[in-house]
Amino acid sequence: MDRIWKVAEKIDADSSAVHSDVSPRVAQLLSNRKLKSAAVIHEFLHPDYDKDLHDPFSFREMGRAVDRLLRAAKDKEPIVVHGDYDADGVSAAAIMATVLRTLGADADVFLPHRELDGYGLNMRTVEDLADRGVKVIVTCDCGIANTAEIAAAAARGIDVIVTDHHAMPAELPRPYATIHPKVPGETYPWDGLAGGGVAWKLAKALLSRSSEIGVTTPPGSEKWLLDLVAISSVADMVPLLGETRTLVKYGLVVLGKTKRPGLRALMEAAGVFGVDGSPKKAIDATTIGFQIAPRLNAAGRLDHANAAFALIMETDPARATELAAGLSATNGDRQRQTETCVAEARASIAKNGWDRDPAIVVAGDWPPGLVGLVAGKLMDEFYRPVFAVSMRENCVGSGRSIPEYHVVEAMKTMSDVFEKFGGHPQACGFTVKKGMVDELRERLKKHAGETFGGSDPIPELAIDAEISLAEADWDLVDTVRLFEPFGIGNPEPRFLSKRLRITDMAPVGVGGKHLRLSVSQGGKSQKMIAFGMGAKAEWLFPGTEIDAVYTIGVNEWNGNREVQLKVIDLRANRG
């Protein structure tokens, strides 16, 4: 789909004054990310673990949660950590289980099965845990939408402590304590934490008071949990700004030297670590997003998240290697099945003419764990909200949306169609009531049509600056590196150069899927790589002038280093 190229406006004199201590290029990139005040800019460019992290006890009910868990740990009351089946929920559960067991607590972990249990707490689980004599449940990456289940737990004598970060439901639950940065009236100053980040805050608070129950923990021991915070934050695509950016920045360092044999084995299986047991290159957010998180998520998508949790918690290197190999194999199976499901969904869209709908609902006999991937791929392809539903037993679905459409708010207007739902503005999970998929399609189509005013939304490609090819040099590489790690809220900087003359080109990769270019402008020559654009070779040839949007980085091979430009989009220059 063609995109509207939107180059950011150059900063004015007032903005330049605010950014007077940095280069003009850095100032422009900061302004593009709406980072205005000197304090916010300093935190962004120079995140400091000791200065930029907020006190966990700033959470309104943190003290109450810590008091209850310390008492449970001391008295050996049975505690269950209830996580979720994705990488964020599994990582959050691992953080909480690690700390509770360090405190000597009788702490077990329950991760729901996507098909059998669904998202969050359910009544059957509450009853089972009550029958087992559980006294405290700590939810991780879930719970805020489980009003009835938490009330049922309380009625059975279970205190529920909610740690979550998802959107607010119509009715808030009344647990023993809530640790959630977005609840109305919350006093915590940063609301952008992932589920793992919220769990880590509780973990840090518990460790700070461990001596009250006679447990001595080394100062700063919570830092070794930051590898899991980084995984959860990147995997769940929360904005990498503010406190979350600081946590991820340090978490990536910890991940590179993690003490967890399971994570080391997983990264070896993914090719991140070499045979010498050290990273082949610096671990960044892309490493998590494309190599670590998909493998952890694969367990909960096709089988059970317990496999991912077991790997994270494994202490025996040999056993960790076996578990990592199993997750990698599951991930390969996940990729193949996803391709099949997406192809079936595309066929349904074409057959029924749904590509013209302002929102798309597809359904099929698909594994519930894959519907989110199906929705995401179709959303990217058609640029509109997409809901994908598994027509297996429980009609579980997942939605992915564009920035112009808030799916959770939309679902609130048609709540009678769902058994339950929840999520974020651009990603949601739900269960459709039996026989109401067609109703959902019509209601969502109508709501989205009204939201978009009858016209099709057109994707925009945000561009940080237009520059000459000569400016795409090592100095710019160093500037861009100041902004790592990249992610939601802080995308990798994109640049536009116009009137680039192609001097050489060739399709590369299996089936010529990608395109390698050599371009020149004003005496400057540069190589570019355009992933997934091999088909453009049909209308490009040496001598063609193009405009290209790209990112800038480093290509390292055989001991050599060179500036590499990765093409995001390109067009023929028409003068």
Domain count, the chain: 3
Question: In this structure, are residues 197 and 165 in contact, taking their beta carbons and an 8 Å threshold?
Answer: yes
CA atoms within 13 A on the CB side of 152: 16
Residue among 310, 221, 222 at smallest CA distance from 266: 310
Residues 384 and 532 in one domain: no
- Amino acid 575: pLDDT: 65
Question: In this structure, are residues 190 and 56 in contact, taking their beta carbons and an 8 Å threshold?
Answer: no
270: in domain: no
Cross-sheet strand order for the sheet of 396-400: 360-364, 386-390, 396-400, 427-432, 418-424
Residues 500 and 429 in one domain: no
- Amino acid 170: pLDDT: 85
Structure confidence by residue, pLDDT tens digits, 463-475: 999 999 999 999 9
Indicate the angle between helix axes 195-208 and 62-75, nearest 10 degrees. 60
Residues 404 and 490 in one domain: no
The sign of the CA dihedral 317, 319, 322, 324 is negative
286: in domain: no
Q: How far apart are CA 140 and CA 125, in angstroms?
A: 15
- Residue with tokens 């310390």, as numbered in its chain: 70
Residues 92 and 158 in one domain: yes
Last residue of a domain, one of 389, 423, 451: 451
Domain with residue 213: its CATH number is 3.90.1640.30
Residues 375 and 226 in one domain: no
300: in domain: no
- Amino acid 422: pLDDT: 86
Q: How far apart are CA 137 and CA 119, in angstroms?
A: 16
> What letter represents residue 286's amino acid?
T
- 53's CB contacts (< 8 A; 6+ apart) are 243, 246, 247
- Amino acid 277: pLDDT: 82
DSSP code for 359: S
Residues 400 and 502 in one domain: no
Q: How far apart are CA 554 and CA 22, in angstroms?
A: 23
- 19's CB contacts (< 8 A; 6+ apart) are 11, 26, 27, 30, 31, 41
- Amino acid 279: pLDDT: 87
374: in domain: yes
Residues 63 and 202 in one domain: yes
- Amino acid 20: pLDDT: 63
The sign of the CA dihedral 169, 174, 180, 185 is positive
470: in domain: yes
Q: How far apart are CA 46 and CA 509, in angstroms?
A: 39
Q: How far apart are CA 566 and CA 302, in angstroms?
A: 33
389: in domain: yes
Last residue of a domain, one of 184, 215, 232: 232
Residues 513 and 532 in one domain: yes
Q: How far apart are CA 356 and CA 348, in angstroms?
A: 13
Q: How far apart are CA 291 and CA 235, in angstroms?
A: 11
Domain that holds residue 364: 353-451
Question: In this structure, are residues 357 and 386 in contact, taking their beta carbons and an 8 Å threshold?
Answer: no
- Amino acid 114: pLDDT: 86
- Amino acid 484: pLDDT: 95
119: in domain: yes
Number of H helices, E strands in the chain: 19, 18
Residues 550 and 429 in one domain: no
Last residue of a domain, one of 423, 451, 479: 451
Question: In this structure, are residues 502 and 519 in contact, taking their beta carbons and an 8 Å threshold?
Answer: yes
- Amino acid 14: pLDDT: 62
> What letter represents residue 351's amino acid?
K
Extract the residue ranges of the chain whose pLDDT is less than 70. 1, 13-20, 575
509: in domain: yes
Residues 469 and 554 in one domain: yes
What's the whole-model pTM score?
0.90
Residues 399 and 512 in one domain: no
Residues 507 and 384 in one domain: no
Q: How far apart are CA 520 and CA 488, in angstroms?
A: 32
Q: How far apart are CA 164 and CA 182, in angstroms?
A: 9
Q: How far apart are CA 322 and CA 556, in angstroms?
A: 31
Domain with residue 499: its CATH number is 2.40.50.460
- Amino acid 15: pLDDT: 61
- Amino acid 415: pLDDT: 94
Terminal Cα-to-Cα distance of the chain (whole angstroms): 22
- Amino acid 470: pLDDT: 97
**Which helix (H) or strand (E) segment is 530 a member of?**
strand 524-530
- Residue with tokens 């000791």, as numbered in its chain: 50
